[in-house]
Chain A
């Protein structure tokens, strides 16, 4: 019987698989995966490595739930929570805007605040956005082994309107500055790649060398690509990038040369071939601000491998290497050897932003954001000359305040070149949503319009420190609390790499060719808050209750007391002496070995005390008896 069923079923299954294959074959657009690595020597003797993986799922309905290359976990996430766009980044270390650049696509996209940052745009009705956000944080938390679920509580996220640089009304933004980022976050991130870290460029990610760097930021950006066709769903584009800044090991040779390096010296590994599933697999080397020719061997430096292509940008050269040819026997190991000392500087954002705390003590303080003009500002082309010929720089400030930093918005002061300015001159737009205690975090969005010749601008705002319930403090309460980074963006300034060539086959470069908003994050601030005594709850409860019992009892006693009655009561007490009491007093006297005190009217006080003590004795015996009986019966059962 079973055999006959099998003989019927097997051909059917084979037929079905054929049908499926035909169905797939008919679909022309396929899922694409590409990998690339950008290397860039930095002016301060460091090297930047930017891994970029792009995974594109075309818009289609026929796939159903199945994907060839696109990670299923992410597509399920998108379908379930209807995420329109999302970015998650894990960062350790701080991006050095002065030396590593602040006005290029790389820094504006990949310089992220310390810890975890997550923002997402949803495609759900307004009322459901918060629920979707909460569910998304939980899902991501599980997916990336991080405490992203802490962003669930309404005190840790905000809904920016325009200050974030993306005007979407269903946007939620949250960040966790204290999250420690390590290899347990990288492993699940790598699992989303089709070749993981087994093959191709990602095989370079040797954990010790990646985490030894000065800065590393792993980023996951997900966006929906509208197909534009009716009936077809939207496609998904998943970009994963890892940016690391490494210090090549060098021996100082006294010639002030930039350090020479190779892939194997930076990562301890070589590329032994591309990921076979990748459509394109390239390594780029960007040499910035040098006055040399586009030769790969010149008097200044020398590359170990000949580039396949050289591109010229306005201020830099790009050498493109294809790693298709590399194999186990002939691994790809790009090296750069400097011959002459050289110096260059990176393009800077128009204003350099930093943030600090003012004041001392644990009661109040002030937060100040300082914007300093950078040297390269004059060379900038992105000025806005619309304002009646007056040259101005516009800057948006976006800042989230946790509720325990109680900000007084009326104390906002703006100083331009150390001169206090009335708000309306400089402050063009402000949007504030104040924080509610234990309910929601505060948010401030400001648009400043500063004159171009400004040297420095400072914003200061005062705050009171909140006092928390003992359960609300983290285990290391005395370490302090973090205020998330402020985001400064320059809406008139856009960064891009200016190529003349058509670059649709090179995903990373076509991405850099698009204009991106210049933005920079400030430092995370550590605010120490006062702590109560964590060992005191019982003491405080008992002492306070005792004081109130004292109040209630003594006041009621004062009200109740009637002196005349008391006198009469005492008199009547003095007259009568019960037989039992006499017996007891005799008994106690015998125990004490003293003669019986005759209860006389003179020593009423003594009699009273003996009566009191006998009463007390009786009560104690009674209570003890009851307790013993209770103990006996309760243990019996």
Chain B
């Protein structure tokens, strides 16, 4: 017995060791790639840098600002003024003999590592919650029994670090690692119940790329209801069965069944606390932005050039989304109609998902992020990297997801074909825009299948829990 204990302790010691080795090697891999960054020319790939995240545009914005013009003069820079003052200085710093933008790359590597660590924190919490819930439902017998529960935190962190999409974004100098970090920070804050941190992450993420604003719903659920858990009904049934066993009268059980189920306590105080902090941080951000843009049009200009640019899809340069081609082709008369339709498509799905998945707020956040990356006006692979690593947080729940191999092949195929099609169209001139657009449509389809399958796998998992639950059978009988 003691021997076994010793082995498990050793294993537990070994596991973090292995994790850190993998994490360090991913950092090393990044550094090696950065030293070849000039040859790879990743920063000009449309898959990596969109008009919102391109470092060249940021450098242009910084140049304009240095020339005492508004950074938003011209249609180059559309990012946040705070990011400009943080990264702008680094874009002009150069060491002889080293690739340009070296400091920026290092910042992005650090952002990636921080995101991975934060993800690991989220994963640990979720894993503990999963174990606890399984024990409560009676699926696991002993409190030390951890068989079958995968260390989702480590897996998610490694998936994030070793995902080719993340690596490409980091080496390709797009600002999406920082945006992703803000999103993960918000989730981490909510999971670990550090309300100011969650509010800060959410405000920063919204400020940087607008779409994370929809994460307000899952974060509030996380703070109000707590971590992901199976539906409340199951616990109530378990409790009922226990009481049945005690009283062993059918009438009592019937009464218990018909009794309105007790609501899960919603922690209003935490949520109010959160809203307060959101207001505080938004005020801070707005004041800082206002100060940095006071000479050049102020906040109104900022909102027009960042959020306005995102919502009106002015830039029609190709990316892996489908909107650029759609709005390059659609008749001007219908332009505003389709703009509304596509943006509302995100909003329409929020409520049904929130109702159905309110007991799993983290999973809800993942689905929201996947949807927004699908329907974003300027998507990049950085967004996919984020939701794919969040998906890895639910390896335990989503173990029997359908089409996973098909999806893997799809993502692989699209990411291989996309540069080829782009090359054929833009550089060789032998293909036309439809080639690249077809690729983008394929990518959108794979993402749709991915989202739908994840949702149904999670719902099936809940159903399966119901069936596996030994008490469930009794209740039925």
Contact = CB atoms under 8 A, between A and B. Distances in A.
Interface of A: 360-364, 403, 406, 408-410, 430, 432-438, 442, 464, 466-471, 530-533, 536-537, 540-541, 543-544, 547-548, 550-552, 554-556, 558-559, 561, 563
A471 B332 contact: yes
A559 B352 contact: yes
Chain B contact residues, majority secondary structure: helix
B434 A533 contact: yes
B325 A532 contact: yes
Nearest to A364: B44
A461 B353 CA distance: 49
B328 A435 contact: no
A436 B331 CA distance: 22
Contact of A408 (B76, B356, B432): B76
24 contacts: A363-B426, A406-B76, A408-B56, A432-B64, A432-B67, A434-B64, A435-B74, A436-B75, A437-B315, A469-B316, A531-B433, A533-B433, A537-B330, A541-B329, A541-B330, A547-B441, A547-B445, A548-B342, A551-B444, A551-B451, A551-B452, A554-B452, A559-B353, A559-B455
Contact of B345 (A433, A469, A540, A548): A548
Interface of B: 44, 56, 59-60, 62-64, 67, 69, 73-76, 314-318, 322, 324-332, 342, 345, 348-349, 352-353, 356, 374-375, 425-427, 429, 432-434, 437, 441, 444-445, 448, 451-452, 455-456, 459, 463
Contacts of B432: 531-533
A556 B326 contact: no
A466 B317 contact: yes
Given A406-B75, A437-B315, A551-B451, 7 more contacts: A436-B75, A467-B324, A530-B425, A532-B432, A536-B434, A540-B330, A554-B448
Contacts of B426: 361-363, 530
A360 B429 CA distance: 11
Given A468-B328, A532-B325, A555 B76 contact: no
A471 B327 CA distance: 11
A563 B461 CA distance: 12
Nearest to B91: A410
Given A361-B427, A468-B316, A530-B425, A434 B76 contact: yes
A550 B64 contact: no
A540 B441 CA distance: 10
A551 B60 contact: no
* Shortest 6 CB-CB contacts between residues of A and residues of B: A434-B74, A410-B63, A437-B75, A361-B427, A467-B316, A558-B456
Contacts of B434: 533, 536
B358 to A, nearest CB: 12
B56 A467 contact: no
B451 to A, nearest CB: 6
A442 B76 CA distance: 12
Q: Quick one: which of A442, A531, A558 has the most chain B CB within 10 A?
A: A558
Contacts of B322: 544, 547
Given A432-B69, A558-B452, A559-B353, A442 B445 contact: no
A605 B60 CA distance: 65
B433 A530 contact: yes
Nearest to A537: B329
A467 B318 contact: yes
A467 B378 CA distance: 14
A364 to B, nearest CB: 7
Contacts of B356: 559
Nearest to A442: B74
Q: Quick one: which of A364, A409, A540, A563 has the most chain B CB within 10 A?
A: A540
A467 B328 contact: yes
B150 to A, nearest CB: 24
A338 to B, nearest CB: 51
Contacts of B317: 464, 466-467
A470 B316 CA distance: 11
Contacts of A434: 64, 69, 73-76
Nearest to B73: A434
B324 A547 contact: no
Nearest to B323: A544
Contacts of B437: 540
B94 to A, nearest CB: 12
Contact of B314 (A410, A430, A437): A437
A273 B320 CA distance: 73
Nearest to B325: A540
A433 B356 CA distance: 52
B63 A409 contact: yes
B427 A552 contact: no
A139 B74 CA distance: 31
Nearest to A540: B329
A360 B448 CA distance: 36
Contacts of B324: 467
Contacts of B441: 543-544, 547
A405 to B, nearest CB: 12
Contact of A556 (B69, B342, B352, B375): B352
Nearest to A412: B63
A436 B297 CA distance: 15
A410 B448 CA distance: 40
B67 to A, nearest CB: 7
A544 B443 CA distance: 12
Contacts of A543: 441
Contact of B331 (A437, A537, A550, A551): A537
Contacts of A435: 74-75
